[in-house]
Amino acid sequence: MDRHAAKAAWQGGHPRPDGKAAKPPAAKAPAPKIVLASPAGPPVVERVRGLLAWCRPGFEGECAQELSTLAARSGSGGFARTERGSGLVEFVGEDPALAGIRWRETIFARQLLVLLGRARNLPTGDRLGALWPLLEQDGRRWCEAWVEAPDSDAGRELATLCRGLNAALIASLKARGLLDRASPWRLHLGLTAGDAAFIAAADVRNAAPWPGGIPRLRFPREAPSRSTLKLEEALLVLLSEGERERWLVPGMRAVDLGAAPGGWTWQLVQRSIHVVAVDNGPMDAALLRSGLVEHRREDGFRHRPPKAVDWLVCDMVEQPVRVAARMAEWLANGWCRHAIFNLKLPMKKRYEEVERCLALVRGQIPGIELRARQLYHDREEITVFARRPD
C-alpha cells in the first residue's frame, strides 16, 4: 500500500472499502515528508482510475465530500482519499462516468483531472523514464504538459523541481511524437514528493486553465485592500469573457454591502460602474474622489436601493446563512440582476453549510443560476455568483 493509501484519512458519503466507518480528518497532522534523494527499490508505476483534485490545504475534507456527492449523483461508485494539509484529493473509481464530472460543477476543486496512474520510487537521475509504458499504453497525444505540485508547504518545496521536469517532459513528448497542439488533452504530472507523482489528464475544455488551478493575479497598488483580488478573481473565474463583456458595462449601477475600505468597489469603479458603498467603516478617500462612489454609512442588512441595480456585491463578515438569506431577498425582489457574494465558513460542517446556503437561495428564486467556488484568494470562505432568470 502506498503512502496515500496508508494515510487515507477521509471519504465523504461513500463506504470505505474495508467497511469501517468514515472518519473526519484529524485536526492536525504532521506535514508530509519530502523525499528529494533517490529512493531504494525499483520505480513502480501503477494504473489508477478516478479523479484527482487540487484544493486549498485544509479543505481536503470538503473537496472529498463534494467529489463523493458528485460521483454518487452520476451513479458512479468509488471512494475519496486524502491527507489533511496535502492540498489534493484522489477519488478512486473505475466508472468512466466519473470523467463526466465537470471542474466547473465543483466548488472546492481548484483543478479536476482524470487520473491515469500513480508512480513512486522514481529515480532522481531519470524521473520520467518509468512513465513511458503507461503513457504509450494510454495512447493519447497531448497539446501540453504541466508538472505541478499541490499548494501545500511540502508542495511549494517542489516548485523548482517541477519547472525543470516540465521542460524535460515537453521535450520528451515531442521527441516521441506524443505532442499534438490540436489535441484537447493536457498531460498533468502531479508531484507529491521528489520521487512520487500522479499521472493525470485534463480535457482543456473542462479544466482550469491555470497551473495548480491558481490564477496568478497581481495586486494593483492603487486598490484600497487585498480583498480586491477576491472580486477580480471571481469575475475572471465565475464569468466567461463574453459574460464579462455583456454584464459589466460602463454606466451600470451597483451596490456594495460591507464595502470598506473599498477593494471590491475599486474593481467596479475600474469598469466605470457607479457604486453605492454601504458600510459604517471609512472608505478609501481616493476612491470617493472618483465621482463614481456614494458612501452610505448604513447597515447592510437594512439598506434598500431606491430602484433596481445591475449588480449587488457583498463581502460582509456575517453568518453565511444570514448573508444567503439577504442575497435571496435582493434577487427575489428584483432589486438586482446579478450578485457576487462571499460566504464565510468558520464553522465545522462547512460543506453542509454551503449546501444549506445555496439551497436557501435556490428555494426562493426558481430558475436562479448559481456558480460557487472557493477561489485562490478566498481563505475560510467561498464566493458565489448569482443571476436572476430573464
Ligand X SMILES: C[S@@+](CC[C@H](N)C(=O)[O-])C[C@H]1O[C@@H](n2cnc3c(N)ncnc32)[C@H](O)[C@@H]1O
- Using CB under 6 A, which residues numbered 233 to 262 contact ligand X? 257-262
Q: How far is the CB of 328 from ligand X (least distance, A)?
A: 16
| Number of shown-chain residues binding ligand X (CB under 6 A) | 23
* Active-site residue, 344 included: yes
- Using CB under 6 A, which residues numbered 3 to 42 contact ligand X? none
Ramachandran class of 169: left when φ > 0, alpha when ψ lies in -120 to 50, beta otherwise: alpha
Q: How far is the CB of 200 from ligand X (least distance, A)?
A: 35
Q: Which is nearer to ligand X, 48 or 328 (CB)?
A: 328
Catalytic one among 33, 230, 307, 344?
344
328 binds ligand X (CB under 6 A): no
Contacts of residue 284, defined as CB under 8 A and 6 or more positions apart, other chains included, come to 224, 261, 262, 266
317 binds ligand X (CB under 6 A): yes
Give 83: exposed, middle or buried? Use CB within 10 Å, 0-12, 13-18, 19+: buried
310 binds ligand X (CB under 6 A): no
Q: How far is the CB of 305 from ligand X (least distance, A)?
A: 15
State the residue number with the nearest CB to ligand X: 263
Sole window of 50-58, 80-88, 293-301, 376-384 interacting with ligand X (rule: CB under 6 A):
293-301
Q: What is the distance between the alpha carbons of residues 310 and 119, in angstroms, rounded to a whole number?
A: 51
279 binds ligand X (CB under 6 A): yes
Among 54, 142, 146, 264, binds ligand X (CB under 6 A): 264
Q: How far is the CB of 220 from ligand X (least distance, A)?
A: 12
282 binds ligand X (CB under 6 A): no
Q: How far is the CB of 275 from ligand X (least distance, A)?
A: 11
Sole window of 1-9, 296-304, 356-364, 365-373 interacting with ligand X (rule: CB under 6 A):
296-304
Q: What is the distance between the alpha carbons of residues 382 and 325, in angstroms, rounded to a whole number?
A: 16
330 binds ligand X (CB under 6 A): no
Q: How far is CA 200 from CA 219, 244, 381, in A?
A: 32, 31, 28
294 binds ligand X (CB under 6 A): no
Residue type, 143: C
Q: How far is the CB of 298 from ligand X (least distance, A)?
A: 7
Q: How far is the CB of 263 from ligand X (least distance, A)?
A: 3
Q: How far is the CB of 330 from ligand X (least distance, A)?
A: 14
Among 32, 85, 212, 300, binds ligand X (CB under 6 A): 300
Sole window of 56-64, 312-320, 361-369, 376-384 interacting with ligand X (rule: CB under 6 A):
312-320
Sole window of 12-20, 32-40, 142-150, 310-318 interacting with ligand X (rule: CB under 6 A):
310-318
320 binds ligand X (CB under 6 A): no
Q: Which is nearer to ligand X, 57 or 258 (CB)?
A: 258
- Using CB under 6 A, which residues numbered 192 to 221 contact ligand X? none
Among 94, 222, 299, 380, binds ligand X (CB under 6 A): 299
136 binds ligand X (CB under 6 A): no
* 124 alpha carbon, distance to own chain's centre: 31
Q: Which is nearer to ligand X, 151 or 315 (CB)?
A: 315
Q: Catalytic residues, which ones?
A: 344
Q: In the complex, which residues of this chain contact ligand X (CB under 6 A)?
A: 224-225, 227-228, 257-264, 278-281, 299-301, 315-318
